[in-house]
Structure 1
Amino acid sequence: MLLRVLHTTTYGYQSSVNMAQHMVHVSPVDTPCQRVLAHTLRVTPEPAARSQTTDVFGNQRTFFSLQAPHDTLRVDADSLVETRAPASLPDSPAWRTQSWERVRNHVHYRKGAPYDAACEFLFASPHVPRDDAFAAFARPAFATGLPVLEAARALMTRIHTELTYESASTEVNTPALTALEQGKGVCQDFAHIMIGCLRSLGLPARYVSGYLLTQPPPGKPRLIGADASHAWVSVYAPLPAGAEADDDRDAGAWFHFDPTNDRCGWGSPGEDYVQLATGRDFSDVSPMRGVIQGGANHRLSVAVTVAPPGELASLA
């Protein structure tokens, strides 16, 4: 599937910003389920300095600085990505030996054990504490001896079924425990809750940012700019004999679970997903963050469109 993603972020400042430095994570990456064919990033006004680097998690990030006064900042990301359907979660006898307790014991620190890069996703992070409330919510899905992927799927479905998706019910900094307690949130909250549940049981889990192709109502045109960024979770499992890792740094594979839509797969939740970045939580992969001098209050506008390229030909 070919997908074009347009992501525009606009800041309007009440008074001029004198200087600013920003970091953005809006560049898709190549994965087993997607290939980036083209990507451009336009910043207005033109930055005084700009650079692109790969962060510690393998994400593409762009830094830029503005040294002249400005009262508006606009960042336009335009990406063309080819995606493919992910493999289903494996259910062979070898994979079924990977119980969640076995995975927990595998990543538990032991003197002299070989290092596994997945271990860094076991610990609390700025938006995701390890807490007994998460563990208590997760336990009904984690029966003794259950394969880790089957348990993770059950947890994903429980979050999808028992929590309510409600726009504007939380803020970007709403604690995941608060979202769990109130029983509602958005995709970021659902991802943080699932990660908190898994880590609180001793299992590695990552936050994944990206986009999801949405379909307009029958007979209605696609609304340009009406989509939004999306978030889901990837869960780690060590490889049984004969299986191949997603990444040379890992001794296992990462499987993707989207509790907002109750979808999962090996490498991606689906062909209609575009992955941007992975991290411990939202704070590692926020689309844009920075520091400014001046500016006072501001207005933020974000417009995202995900569509087949033919539907956006007029915007080329």
Structure 2
Amino acid sequence: MLLHLVHETRYAYTPTVESAHHVLHLRPAIHPGQQLLRHQLTITPPPARLQELTDVYGNCRSYFSLHTPHDRLTVVADSIVSTLALSTGPENTLAGLPWEQVREQFRYQAGAAYDSACEFVFASPYVPRDEAFAEFARPSFVSGRPLPEAAQDLMERIHETMTYDSKSTEVGTPALEALQLGKGVCQDFAHIMVACCRAMGVPARYVSGYLLTSPAPGQPRLIGSDASHAWASVYCPVESESAGMALADGQSPGVWLDFDPTNNRAPGEDYVTLATGRDFLDVSPMRGVIRGGSRHVLNVAVTMTPITKLPEAE
């Protein structure tokens, strides 16, 4: 699927902002199911400095600074992405280890080789360790169950138990509070699934991105009507002998399987991945520090449109 994605962020400040420093995660990722064909970042007013770096999780992170007074800031990320549905469901033979075996693989052992996935077993700022997550997860993680099946069941139970309510939580709402409330938004659903997996000793990470929405029958697509989305990804390793692949230091054979508890489905070609991290704090689309501008109005518009061919370059 060929998708044209426009993510527009507009700030209006009162009083004027004297200087600002911002970090962006707005460049779509590149992975086996997703290729970035074109990307353009437009910032108004033009920044004094703009730099792109790769963060510790492999995401493209943009940094820019503004040193002149401004009462408006507009950031537009315009991308064209080609997506492909991958067969990485529970039936995948490379991902069928019992969950207890995966847990044991990621227990601390003196002298064991480093595995980069182990970082996603530990607590993070938005995903704390708490017995409530383990208690919720246990019915899905029954003895001997293959990890993909356990994660699938956990996703379904979160979807059935939680109520989607766009006004129930805020960006900084902890996952535990959302679980106790029994409602939240996609960020909360993803955080809860990540927290439950980690509580069982299984590596899980947070994924930020977009989901293509469909208008009502007979209605045109609305500009700016889409939104950022989030889901969870669970790491499913395999025995090195059966993988038959050469790996870099710090990596083990296996796959990251994506689960969307908000929509109770596996992400497919109608999803676009922006970035992955321990939780939302690692991959927020835009955050920063400003001097001045004690009050602001924020407007975010996302439009993702299927296209049939690559537009001519301007």
Does the CA-based 8 Å contact 1:246-1:254 persist in structure 2? no
Relative to structure 1, is the Cα distance of residues 292 and 104 closer, same or farther in structure 2, using a 3 angstrom cutoff?
same
C-alpha deviation, 1:262, in angstroms? 1.1
C-alpha deviation, 1:91, in angstroms? 2.7
Summarize the alignment of residues 138-287 of structure 1 with structure 2, pairs less than 5 Å apart.
138-240=137-239, 241-243=241-243, 248=248, 249-251=250-252, 252-264=254-266, 269-287=267-285
1:115 aligns with 2:117: no
C-alpha deviation, 1:88, in angstroms? 3.6
Secondary structure (helix, strand or coil) at the match of 1:109 reads coil
TM-score, reference length from structure 2? 0.94
Q: Which residue of 2 aligns with 1:75?
A: 75
Does the CA-based 8 Å contact 1:17-1:293 persist in structure 2? yes
C-alpha deviation, 1:271, in angstroms? 0.7
Secondary structure (helix, strand or coil) at the match of 1:308 reads strand
Secondary structure (helix, strand or coil) at the match of 1:263 reads coil
Deviating more after overlay: 255-264 vs 187-196: 255-264
Relative to structure 1, is the Cα distance of residues 280 and 3 closer, same or farther in structure 2, using a 3 angstrom cutoff?
same
C-alpha deviation, 1:246, in angstroms? 11
Secondary structure (helix, strand or coil) at the match of 1:141 reads coil
Q: Which residue of 1 aligns with 2:295?
A: 297
C-alpha deviation, 1:64, in angstroms? 0.4
Q: Runs of 4+ in structure 1 displaced over 4 angstroms?
A: 92-95, 244-249, 310-313
- Counterpart Cα distance in 2 of 1:261 and 1:247: 34
- Counterpart Cα distance in 2 of 1:3 and 1:246: 33
Deviating more after overlay: 72-81 vs 252-261: 252-261
Give the number of equivalent residue pairs: 310
1:106 aligns with 2:108: no
Secondary structure (helix, strand or coil) at the match of 1:74 reads strand
Gaps of 5+ in 1: none
C-alpha deviation, 1:168, in angstroms? 1.6
Give the AA of the match of 1:69: P
C-alpha deviation, 1:95, in angstroms? 4.3
Does the CA-based 8 Å contact 1:32-1:246 persist in structure 2? no
Relative to structure 1, is the Cα distance of residues 236 and 247 closer, same or farther in structure 2, using a 3 angstrom cutoff?
farther
C-alpha deviation, 1:250, in angstroms? 2.4
Does the CA-based 8 Å contact 2:2-2:309 persist in structure 1? no
Percent of paired sites with the same residue: 58
Q: Which residue of 1 aligns with 2:5?
A: 5
- Counterpart Cα distance in 1 of 2:50 and 2:27: 14
Secondary structure (helix, strand or coil) at the match of 1:9 reads strand
Taking only aligned residues, the RMSD between alpha carbons, in angstroms, comes to: 2.0
TM-score, reference length from structure 1? 0.94
C-alpha deviation, 1:162, in angstroms? 1.1
Q: 1:20-50 deviations in whole A, cap 9, x for unaligned?
A: 0000000001111000000000000000111
Does the CA-based 8 Å contact 1:26-1:77 persist in structure 2? yes
- Counterpart Cα distance in 2 of 1:185 and 1:206: 19
